[in-house]
Chain A
Amino acid sequence: MDFKFTEEQELIRKNVREFCLKNVEPIAAEIDENSRHPAELFQKLSDGGWMGIPIPQEYGGAGADFLTSIIVVEELSRSCASTGFTISTHAGIVCTMILLFGTEEQKKNYLTPMAEGRHLGAFALTEPGAGTDVMAVTTAAVLDGSDYVINGTKTFTSNGPTAGTYLVFAWTDKSAGRKGMSTFIVPREAPGFRVGEHFKKMGLRSSQTSELIFKDCRVSKNNLLGKEGAGLPMAMAGFDGGRIGIAAQCVGILQAALDESIRYSKERIQFGSPIARNQAIAWMIADMATDLSAARFLAYHAAWLKDQKLPFSKEAAMAKLYASEAAMRHTVKAVQIHGGYGYCKGAKVERLMRDAKITEIYEGTSEAMRMVISGTVLR
């Protein structure tokens, strides 16, 4: 076994941390409060080449392994979980799917600009009536000459209002069941496409989420990603990578909760001594540190498997399940440690707790993760 990062990975972690302390940490509370997409920050991220980390250099990326991209998501999330998630969805799912399944032309036209950070990508599967149950999707695409015509509505689409390129899932042959769904690359300017309602969320507020509306939306048949009918397996492959990204996001949230809790409990004096000297507080911190390590190793291991081209679906699900539940559990504790101060706006732990909740829900709920894991181990 080898638990050592490469020198490059260690340097990259330091550089992201420095970037975050300079550019992310100072605005994180404000963009949360105002539910604002920080365009200026994303400009800096793309200038620094942080937008296409796991994408090869020939397609405008940094050419790093997946583990390195996970380190970056973790460190970004430690300062701002919204930013970490936005990058994770963009690079870890959308860019990665085009890299895996796209034609050379699609990689040139859609992957490269995204990996270079010229615009964001979004992944559009969920619909008002179709969450965990993907078969309930109703959006459909019909071939008309050399175009596909897409009709339907997607919802809860992360990066929906801010993206330039969308991966959209629609039936091309509903009768074929799991083999009847296809994936389309839809540019924002496609006729018949518009961004619908923006959602106001409990947490992860600077990540923009919206409905997407397709009304006779036309895209060239060259925008079909992979083969007709291959949509669901591709979506699952995208999710597998995305779940490691969510696990990394949770590790960042947990690290921040631990940092804040250690700092506060050593400074806060009650009954004449720092509250960290109370076993009740010290043990909460011990559990937090332990779960952080466990979540971290699950996430890194899943990323490592992916880099080794070994099966990793189960490990990705385990990492996401464990890390997201640990993040929720311990951000609640972190608020508890901070007492009344932790419940007030301005305390970082207050934001961390709201941000943590979504990680148990999106990109597969905890219940869906248990289905995946039990389905594998009981097979």
Chain B
Amino acid sequence: MSGVWIISEKRRQSLELLNIGRQLADKMGTHAAALLYHDREHAEDCVSHGADEVMLLPPLAGEEPAESRIPAIAEEAKKGDPDLILLSATPRGKNMAALLAARLNVGLVSSCTQIDYDEGSKTLVMERLAYGGAAVQKVVCSARPAMATIPPRTYETAMPKSGRQGNIRELPSPSSSAIKVIERKVKAKEAKDISEARVVVCVGRGMEKEEDLTIARQLAEAVSGSIGCTRPIAEELHWLPEELCIGLSGIQVKPDLYLGIGVSGQVQHVTGIRNAKVIAAVNKDENAPIFKASDFGIVGDLYDVVPKLISELKK
């Protein structure tokens, strides 16, 4: 047996994984399979987007955590012996991937940004960032299956093809975990998902007071963009929710335009914006590292520059 497996619970993420998964399966001359969570419609969607086989995991009891599914998935992986298993590098995806890799005693490449199949040596070469984004690390997994987590939006979603056929089957019920979920707090999203935004206005530590976020919002409005922020703004000052925090340990964005205001440009933050088409920044410190990572930079006080920008944009 062989194959490229993707494991995902979200439609969009599964279609992104299927895009790269299908490409690799074709190169490797094998099939692509999707392991999903109890959603028939989603399963059929995956078939039309490139999955030859879909395995559906039965629903969980209310207090069971996602990791109750690990034993069943591991069993299935031992039987199916895939070449590669892909998950999304979201908190749950990363957790599930690490536990599954530990259970299978195989290598896992976390937050993988690129996967290539070398047909000569028949190996999968994967790329990821290291040292807070300062370095690119190329790795290979030495045990089978190879595993990787891939940050959302790294790949486009797969294109659907009508008339594609695939086998859908149910996996056995999950076991019970020692961990219990006693409460789920779904976060009310303050803004739209910034990983989807075409323009991101990012607020950094150069912003002096929480009230001044208004300036950033006005600028975001003028460029039809969404607000994001650096780690200190979300985690130390709590001015904005964590899901707007951009960087290595937060969200990776891929907008057409990233506009940083008062962002110094720590390497961990810059890692989260490296895929932006255009990076622009306003900072009063002309030596701020953000300028080295920017296409366009204005050296000036954001309190002076941003209002001018807004009125220029409205012209």
How far is A327 from B87 in the complex, measured between Cα atoms in Å?
57
B287 interfacial by beta-carbon distance below 8 Å? yes
B286 interfacial by beta-carbon distance below 8 Å? yes
How far is A180 from B72 in the complex, measured between Cα atoms in Å?
91
A264 interfacial by beta-carbon distance below 8 Å? yes
Q: Which residue of B lies closest to A264 (CB)?
A: B287
Give every chain B residue within 8 A of A264 (Cβ-Cβ). 287
A287 interfacial by beta-carbon distance below 8 Å? no
How many residue pairs between the two chains, A and B, have CB atoms under 8 Å in the bound complex?
A: 4
A258-273 vs B: 1/0 string, CB under 8 Å? 0000011001000000
**CB within 8 Å of B: which of A263-317?**
263-264, 267
Q: Which residue of A lies closest to B286 (CB)?
A: A267
How far is A267 from B289 in the complex, measured between Cα atoms in Å?
11
Give every chain A residue within 8 A of B287 (Cβ-Cβ). 263-264, 267
Give every chain A residue within 8 A of B286 (Cβ-Cβ). 267
**CB within 8 Å of A: which of B284-306?**
286-287
Interface residues of B, count at CB 8 A: 2
Interface residues of A, count at CB 8 A: 3
Give every chain B residue within 8 A of A267 (Cβ-Cβ). 286-287
B264 to chain A, nearest CB (A): 12
A187 to chain B, nearest CB (A): 40
B270-288 vs A: 1/0 string, CB under 8 Å? 0000000000000000110
B311 to chain A, nearest CB (A): 26
How far is A263 from B285 in the complex, measured between Cα atoms in Å?
11
**CB within 8 Å of A: which of B69-103?**
none
A172 to chain B, nearest CB (A): 55
How far is A145 from B73 in the complex, measured between Cα atoms in Å?
91
How far is A264 from B288 in the complex, measured between Cα atoms in Å?
11
Q: Which residue of A lies closest to B299 (CB)?
A: A267
How far is A145 from B287 in the complex, measured between Cα atoms in Å?
66
How far is A37 from B286 in the complex, measured between Cα atoms in Å?
30
A223 to chain B, nearest CB (A): 46
A74-104 vs B: 1/0 string, CB under 8 Å? 0000000000000000000000000000000
How far is A264 from B287 in the complex, measured between Cα atoms in Å?
7
**CB within 8 Å of B: which of A7-32?**
none
How far is A263 from B287 in the complex, measured between Cα atoms in Å?
7
How far is A264 from B299 in the complex, measured between Cα atoms in Å?
14
B231 to chain A, nearest CB (A): 14
B233 to chain A, nearest CB (A): 15
How far is A267 from B286 in the complex, measured between Cα atoms in Å?
8
B171 to chain A, nearest CB (A): 50
Q: Which residue of A lies closest to B292 (CB)?
A: A267
Q: Which residue of B lies closest to A346 (CB)?
A: B284
How far is A153 from B287 in the complex, measured between Cα atoms in Å?
48
How far is A92 from B286 in the complex, measured between Cα atoms in Å?
38
A76 to chain B, nearest CB (A): 22
B297 to chain A, nearest CB (A): 11
**CB within 8 Å of A: which of B161-194?**
none
Q: Which residue of A lies closest to B291 (CB)?
A: A267
How far is A263 from B286 in the complex, measured between Cα atoms in Å?
10
Q: What are the 4 tightest A-B residue pairs by CB atom distance, in nearest-first order? A: A267-B287, A263-B287, A267-B286, A264-B287
Q: Which residues of B contact A (CB under 8 A)?
A: 286-287
A-B residue pairs in contact (CB < 8 Å), sample of 4: A263-B287, A264-B287, A267-B286, A267-B287
